[in-house]
Chains A and B, each alone.
Chain A
Amino acid sequence: MDLRLHCRVSTDNSQPALVQRPLTHLLPTNWEFHPTKITSLHFDRRSITTYGFTFPDSVANSDPTSDSPPSGEINIPSATATNTRLAFRAGDRPTKIRPPRNIIKLEDRLYYLLQPPLETIFTNRSLEFPCTPFAYQLEGVGFLYPRHAAILADEMGLGKTMQAITTVRLLATAGEVRQVLVICPKPLVTNWQREFAQWAPEIPVTIIEGNRKRREWLWNMTDTLVKLANYEIVMRDKLLLKEMESSFDLVVLDEAQRIKNQSSATSRAIRSIKRHRSWALTGTPIENSSEDLCSIFDFLSPGTVRRDWKPQRLRQATEDYLLRRTKRKVLKELPPILYRDAQLSLTSEQMKTYQMAEDEGVVRLAELGGEITVQHVFELILRLKQICNFDPATDRSSKFERLFVDLEELVASGEKAIVFSQWVKSLNNLKGRLSSYCPLEYHGKIATQKRDDVIQKFRDDPRHQVLLISYGAGSVGLNLQFASYVFLFDRWWNPAVEDQAINRAHRIGAKGPVTVTRFLTQGTVEERIDEVLRQKRKIFDSIFSDNDTPKNAGLSQQEIFGLFDLRVPIGSTKSAA
């Protein structure tokens, strides 16, 4: 209430100041009442929100010193005399397991974030190694461990096999996998068996082989953790696999580019295997086009990518599933590759034969007119390339003359060399002419069971300093890091296959630089193909680095026909190679 006082004051000094009683008015006024603010000094524990969870398969009540592991885990035997406790490299940061982006639920993400570093897991579970893994290899293990779909696309020679095996070992000891299937090319089955024995000796491995009855029994065995099969066996037994009641906890595809053709029977058979986790190992996830990668994803995680996506979008969609490292980035201590391109002129005999064959061949192609196909052109190319190797009439060869000179020098210094060719006939020719060096052969015509002996002899016997290998048989999976010279007697269509060949020698364990000599005859179709190969080398980087978007990686029909200045017949649209 507002109190106002009114009064009249006399100006006559003889009178009292107040001549009238003051007049007061009480006028109603609205006051705004502000509630008194009370600040609490205390924190009320009841008002504090908490979040928590208990880990599944908790071992809180298990005794880690007992002989019986918690249920579901594999018992690791105590240290053997051969393996030793791992001493991790000083200065390396501990390797943490990070959840992939497609794990959305907080509890699932925390499950991985709260796991100890890999180094701690290895130490605490007494998992021992024949030698200390590199930091990037542990990162690869940390990458694979939480993923149900993954591609490990490290460059050849960085130890993809070892990383996969070590991760299988971890998952097995954690009880997360009990049935694992590894599928690989036939020549690599013994290699995988050897690597398992080296990196995970406690894990039982069964090779699926033998007649149908035996294979059926092996497929249905349940007391073996890892089954190892080649692609052909899986194809043959696809119905058996389909009828199996249980599914695999993990299927690992080695050299996964084998399923790059989505519609092939092999791809369909592989995709139909029942499984929970799918991993692909390949140094060349893209051999010809980005469709190869899409086909691999049809196995790993159907629906994740689409074939009509541009490379940039494809890259964004796949980057969390894919890990690729190159030797240059992670193995700074690996000796360099020294490229030495030998540009040679054909001998006079070769030149005469070559010229005649090319002229006749081009005329014949022109005569075919509209009926000409890429196959016709391929046949001519192959014939000309063979002439660049050896003259069919006189056997003269400028490449051989150069090879002989180079071998003379390096053999004298005690070095070993590998010679690659796409033709067994060329390798046989070389074998006869290089007999003084006791060369060994490794190609499709050598029986599978004898191939391991060949490698062992080449490695251990100082008399054998030259190994003659075909691209088909020898460009994947072999460890030949004791050879310091690689000769590419003739070139392959695909730079990725050439790189694989070179990486037989340039890999972990290589003692010194690897010198690669690529033979190329001037003024021939080889020179023109070389230019196309240079273009194809850029394709990889456009998807796996920050370079521009790639062009189509395949050799177009225009390029094939263009090797002989021919025009593409009207109506041809498909990519040639």
Chain B
Amino acid sequence: MSASNRKSKNAIGFLTILESSEHGISGGYLLLNSTGRPIEFHCTAPVHPSRTQEILYGATLKPYLFGEILGQTLLSQTQTEPLFVCTNVVEVATARPFVSYPIVVLLSENNVKSAPSLRIDEPTPGQPVPAPLGMVSVQLMNQPAAVLADHPSDRQLMNDRCKDLHESFDFHEPFERIRDAVEEAQNE
């Protein structure tokens, strides 16, 4: 199902990838309104790359699988177009060319370190996390974040679209909900 043109003034998407040695790789997407109430939820069945794919794709496997395949699949399922999508997985940013709204990566030392193909420098403790290669830094209401450099208008779009958000909006907590929900679905 492709995304309709139904726009919401205040819907924000949260997209993450969960890796499990037992279940494989799953994607989860949660759409919230500006007060944090859930609007839609979508997740994928686990995917297991073969050994051949791991070898041949090498370092490009994650950006391809996480962003172009799983990310794109989930974003195409939603019925409501969000203002923007947040993700805590750097490689998901490669889904950006397939949608019309910004995909912003919440940066932390952990997720930048885990994306060696994309980072420029080692994050320095206590210092702002540098944006990975091919991305530019943005501030998401005091959260260090980044968007793809190939979409320069995303920076301004993010500034505009965050204005009406409540100052206490927690951008990290929804990912915990997605994880709990995906685990619940996998245990079904």
Q: In the complex, A120→B73 CA distance in Å?
A: 30
Q: In the complex, A125→B37 CA distance in Å?
A: 10
Given known A41-B57, A43-B69, contact A116–B42 (CB-CB < 8 A): no
In the bound complex, residues from chain A placing their C-beta under 8 Å from that of B78 are: 52
Q: Is B8 at the interface (CB under 8 A from chain A)?
A: yes
Summed over the interface, the residue pairs from A and B with CB atoms below 8 Å come to a total of 118
Q: Please tell me if the beta carbons of B181 and A113 are within 8 angstroms of each other in the complex.
A: yes
Q: In the complex, A114→B29 CA distance in Å?
A: 11
Given known A50-B74, A60-B8, contact A113–B40 (CB-CB < 8 A): no
B51-74 vs A, Cβ < 8 Å mask (1 yes, 0 no):
011001100000011000110111
Q: Is A123 at the interface (CB under 8 A from chain B)?
A: yes
| Residue picked from A106, A114, A117, most chain B C-beta under 10 Å | A114
- Within the complex, which residue of B53, B72, B74, B173 is in contact with A94, where a contact is CB–CB below 8 Å? B173
Q: Please tell me if the beta carbons of A52 and B184 are within 8 angstroms of each other in the complex.
A: no
Which of A61-69, A133-141, A266-274 lies on the face that meets chain B? A61-69
Q: Please tell me if the beta carbons of A51 and B43 are within 8 angstroms of each other in the complex.
A: yes
A103-121 vs B, Cβ < 8 Å mask (1 yes, 0 no):
0001001100111110011
Q: Please tell me if the beta carbons of B170 and A114 are within 8 angstroms of each other in the complex.
A: no
- Chain B residues numbered 58-113 whose CB sits less than 8 Å from any CB in chain A: 64-65, 69-70, 72-74, 77-80
Q: In the complex, A115→B178 CA distance in Å?
A: 10
In the bound complex, residues from chain A placing their C-beta under 8 Å from that of B41 are: 52-53, 55, 110, 114
Question: A57's closest neighbor in chain B, by CB?
Answer: B37
Q: In the complex, A65→B72 CA distance in Å?
A: 32
> In whole Å, how far is B181's beta carbon from the nearest beta carbon of chain A?
5
Q: Is B188 at the interface (CB under 8 A from chain A)?
A: yes
Q: Is A49 at the interface (CB under 8 A from chain B)?
A: yes
In the bound complex, residues from chain B placing their C-beta under 8 Å from that of A62 are: 33
Q: Is A14 at the interface (CB under 8 A from chain B)?
A: no
Q: Is B177 at the interface (CB under 8 A from chain A)?
A: yes
Q: Please tell me if the beta carbons of A52 and B77 are within 8 angstroms of each other in the complex.
A: yes
Size category, A interface = 35 or more
Given known A106-B185, A124-B36, contact A52–B72 (CB-CB < 8 A): no
Q: Is A58 at the interface (CB under 8 A from chain B)?
A: yes
In the bound complex, residues from chain B placing their C-beta under 8 Å from that of A51 are: 42-45, 185
- Chain A residues numbered 120-157 whose CB sits less than 8 Å from any CB in chain B: 120-121, 123-125
Given known A110-B181, A124-B35, contact A39–B52 (CB-CB < 8 A): yes
Question: A121's closest neighbor in chain B, by CB?
Answer: B36
In the bound complex, residues from chain A placing their C-beta under 8 Å from that of B188 are: 106
Q: Please tell me if the beta carbons of B47 and A43 are within 8 angstroms of each other in the complex.
A: yes
Q: In the complex, A106→B180 CA distance in Å?
A: 12
> In whole Å, how far is B1's beta carbon from the nearest beta carbon of chain A?
9
Q: Please tell me if the beta carbons of A117 and B173 are within 8 angstroms of each other in the complex.
A: yes
Q: In the complex, A569→B180 CA distance in Å?
A: 62
Q: Please tell me if the beta carbons of B10 and A64 are within 8 angstroms of each other in the complex.
A: yes
In the bound complex, residues from chain A placing their C-beta under 8 Å from that of B49 are: 43
Q: Please tell me if the beta carbons of A55 and B39 are within 8 angstroms of each other in the complex.
A: yes
Question: B69's closest neighbor in chain A, by CB?
Answer: A43
In the bound complex, residues from chain B placing their C-beta under 8 Å from that of A48 are: 44-45, 47, 69-70, 73
Q: Is A45 at the interface (CB under 8 A from chain B)?
A: yes
In the bound complex, residues from chain A placing their C-beta under 8 Å from that of B181 are: 110, 113-114
Q: Is B30 at the interface (CB under 8 A from chain A)?
A: yes
Q: Please tell me if the beta carbons of A114 and B45 are within 8 angstroms of each other in the complex.
A: no
Given known A49-B44, A51-B42, contact A113–B70 (CB-CB < 8 A): no
Q: Is B151 at the interface (CB under 8 A from chain A)?
A: no
Question: B80's closest neighbor in chain A, by CB?
Answer: A60
- Within the complex, which residue of B34, B40, B164 is in contact with A52, where a contact is CB–CB below 8 Å? B40
Q: Is B9 at the interface (CB under 8 A from chain A)?
A: yes
Q: In the complex, A269→B72 CA distance in Å?
A: 58
Q: Please tell me if the beta carbons of B44 and A63 are within 8 angstroms of each other in the complex.
A: no
Q: In the complex, A133→B188 CA distance in Å?
A: 35
Q: Is A54 at the interface (CB under 8 A from chain B)?
A: yes
Q: Is B38 at the interface (CB under 8 A from chain A)?
A: yes
> In whole Å, how far is A137's beta carbon from the nearest beta carbon of chain B?
21
Q: In the complex, A238→B75 CA distance in Å?
A: 55
A225-251 vs B, Cβ < 8 Å mask (1 yes, 0 no):
000000000000000000000000000
Given known A41-B57, A50-B74, A120-B173, contact A114–B43 (CB-CB < 8 A): no
Q: In the complex, A498→B174 CA distance in Å?
A: 47
Q: Please tell me if the beta carbons of A54 and B72 are within 8 angstroms of each other in the complex.
A: no
Q: Please tell me if the beta carbons of A50 and B50 are within 8 angstroms of each other in the complex.
A: no
| Residue picked from A50, A59, A109, A123, most chain B C-beta under 10 Å | A50
Q: Is B21 at the interface (CB under 8 A from chain A)?
A: no
In the bound complex, residues from chain B placing their C-beta under 8 Å from that of A50 are: 42-45, 73-74, 77
| Residue picked from A53, A55, A60, A125, most chain B C-beta under 10 Å | A60
Closest 6 CB pairs of A and B: A52-B42, A124-B35, A49-B45, A116-B36, A114-B38, A60-B8
7 contacts between A and B (CB under 8 A): A48-B44, A50-B45, A50-B74, A60-B80, A110-B41, A114-B41, A123-B166
Residues of A in contact with B (beta carbons under 8 Å apart): 39, 41, 43, 45, 48-55, 58-65, 94, 96, 106, 109-110, 113-117, 120-121, 123-125
A55-B40, A61-B6 known, 8 other contacts, Cβ within 8 Å = A50-B73, A51-B44, A52-B29, A55-B41, A114-B177, A115-B177, A116-B35, A120-B173
